[in-house]
Amino acid sequence: MDWKAKWLKPANDFGNAAPVFSTDFALSRTVKQARLFITALGVYEAALNGRRIGQFVLAPGWTTYYKRLQYQEYDVTDLLRAENHLTVTVGKGWYHSPMPGFSASDFQKGLAARPMGLLAQLEITYEDGQHSFIVSDESWSVSESAVRFSEIYDGEIYDASFIPPCSVAAETFNGPYETLIEQQGEEIREQERIAAVRIFTTPKGEVVADFGQEITGYVEISVNAKAGEEIRLSHAEVLDKDGCFYTENYRSARAEYCCICRDGQQSCQPRLTFFGFRYIRIDAFPGGPGAGKPENFTAVVLHSQMKRTGRLSCSNPLLNRLFDNIIWGQKGNFVDVPTDCPQRDERLGWTGDAQVFVRTACLNYDTEKFFTKWLADLAADQGEDGYVGHVIPDLLKKQPASAAWGDAAAICPWAVYLAYGNSEILSRQFESMRKWVDYITAHTTTEYLWTGGVHYGDWLGLDAPSGSYKGSSREDFIASAFYAHSASLVIKAGLVLGKDMAAYEALLHNIVSAFRRAYPTYTTQTECVLAAHFHLAEDCQAAADQLALMIKECGTKLQTGFVGTPYLLHVLSDYGHTDLAYSLLLREQYPSWLYPVTKGATTVWEHWDGIMENGDFWSRNMNSFNHYAYGAVADWVYCCAAGITPAEGYPGYSKVRIAPAPDARLDWLEASLDTRHGRIISRWKKQDSLWRYEITTPVDAEVVIDGKTFLVSAGSYIYHSSIQLA
């Protein structure tokens, strides 16, 4: 891109008000095409002749800004007139907001100290073949906008009746050009609109609107008001056990929206921020909080522009609600980066959560472009020695690397490759994958194991000692297991790319040998899971059998945390305990995937008992009700219960294996998956005391029914089981 434009900043300090940059220009010839190239240090909303440009909300998105800043290209031909007025409002966004709210960040302070910058270049091509340019420079004006305050955690104040003082000339400054990149990720867009289902008064006298579903986005308000009347909303995920509005789990994030109205019928909504919520408290409204009606409020759902590819349904209503919750959790947390949660003073791209969920993410939606961009940021933020931070973009620099978090560098690219069959992701990320393994090799205190580090362990494991967030699984055990796993993925990626991987194959052999010597026995469910799933145990069947026994001995309950849970049901199924995997999936009592559903969850929770049996909360300071990681269980439903996987050696489902595993506690189950090669459907149901299997495959497939393998070509097939139902 040949930038002729200059970086602009406000001439004066506007305080909390968002600046609006503007320019006027006239056209006297017929325009063939007009393209606007634009970015900002912050988030922007651009308009030409009063009409919004594009559908990208919170553009230019969130990247590791010191090294990568996206710019966007918009075709604005249809918005042009003879006389034109171009405006761009710039808010703090991720660039200037004080993130992360729960921890000091020198990285973020450095960004916040930079100007609220804008770079814009309009390239016009005329019918006669001539070109002209409208570029941001000293001729542009800047003034305070009607957005009086806006940032990520605290929300926004908008004054529709605000009349700005006279504009002044904008100032140019030496902004970043060398870090500019074309738009790489998916655009964040408004995706759905949800009407308020009810407005009620709590025991404390609060007026609250309920949208019936937790979302990420904001509320659009339609109202007839007088100039100066205020609308003030607060946001919350849940109500407390008394039915009152609850925000303590947002911690320091105020999550408020205020609109100061103009005269007449109008609609307003946040423009440069977002919230995670199901409920709003109406703190002020024309005529009083109680004057608001459901039709005044519409929740607008935001997430990255991703195509839905996977669907699950079955005969169990609670399980169907879980499937929906997993989808809503992904939508709510895939807002340009895979965040842990969208509501409190965090909303960061935690690497551990991303690697836990990546396989499910790639089944539910086409996330190839989404992860390609985020993984490019991971590689950009990665240390020269291979260090990978806990979050990407890495706002928490200098913290010790953690196993299962930094391993996202290896796990995520491989999962994306398997899902879509495009080796380009491996080409882009191979050096990052390799450097991560080399980092472990260089920083361990025990050769061929990973010891001596500081890790999150089996985060939120239910077998955690009193007062600890970490489960009882040994941290060095977990770290060494992931060391082996990441090394194996580097080898696989290298072989796909035609590289000589002999050195890493020898390394992996030594890691596995050292692991077996150091850890001949397993003390927790998660240790059994990792030993079997990563093929580290001398006898993986024995490790899986031990796992099954542990589960049964504690009352058929899981005790795993972030590290063990994603693989738990897979290990049970892979080693002959599918019935036990179903028992865990279908369990309704705490702890289980369905327990939150019985408590009214509409997304996946951070804690199995975020709301406890007696209605109390797990905690005030770390209790998100939209935390997608445990939704990784959907991967098992697609791949084991419905049995849809790529055939060995055929990434991207160019050939498939379909091996359904029904359970008599369900009458039927169906999974569909749109792949690069077409739609795969696997359905099973009870029929006349037998199982009926209905399978559609767009490619050649290995179909496994009752242990028998059928090789079939593309088409639809029906099989009946020879096994009588008990």
- DSSP per residue, 414-454: HHHHHHH--THHHHHHHHHHHHHHHHHHHH-SSTTS--S--
Q: Which amino acid is at 638?
A: Y
Please give the sequence-ordered ranges of beta strands (E in DSSP) within 136-187, or none if there are none.
Answer: 141-144, 147-151, 155-159, 168-169, 171-173, 180-182
| Angle value at C-alpha 342, between 338 and 343, nearest 5 degrees | 160
**Residue 520, token pair as written in the block:** 């001949």
3-state secondary structure of 284: strand
Provide the annotated active-site residues.
346, 606
What whole-number distance in Å separates Cα of residue 101 and Cα of residue 251? 9
What whole-number distance in Å separates Cα of residue 219 and Cα of residue 228? 20
Helix axes 368-381, 424-443, angle to 10 degrees: 40
Helices (H), 497-632: 502-518, 525-533, 540-553, 565-574, 578-586, 595-598
Contact status, residue 344 vs residue 251, Cβ threshold 8 Å: yes
Place of tokens 């993925």: 489
CB neighbours of 559 closer than 8 A, spacing ≥ 6? 461, 462, 463, 471, 524, 525, 526, 550, 591
What whole-number distance in Å separates Cα of residue 514 and Cα of residue 5? 58
Report how far apart, in Å, the C-alpha atoms of 652 and of each of 308, 613, 674 are: 16, 43, 11
Distance between alpha carbon 430 and the CA centroid of its chain, in Å? 23
**Residue 398, token pair as written in the block:** 């200098």
Contact status, residue 376 vs residue 403, Cβ threshold 8 Å: no
**Residue 261, token pair as written in the block:** 């109205």
Q: Please count the CA atoms within 13 angstroms of the CA of 122 that sit on its side-chain side.
A: 27
Among 605, 560, 604, 601, smallest CA distance to 584 is for 560
Q: Is the dihedral of CA 599, 604, 605, 608 positive or negative?
A: positive
What whole-number distance in Å separates Cα of residue 490 and Cα of residue 430? 7
What whole-number distance in Å separates Cα of residue 620 and Cα of residue 642? 38
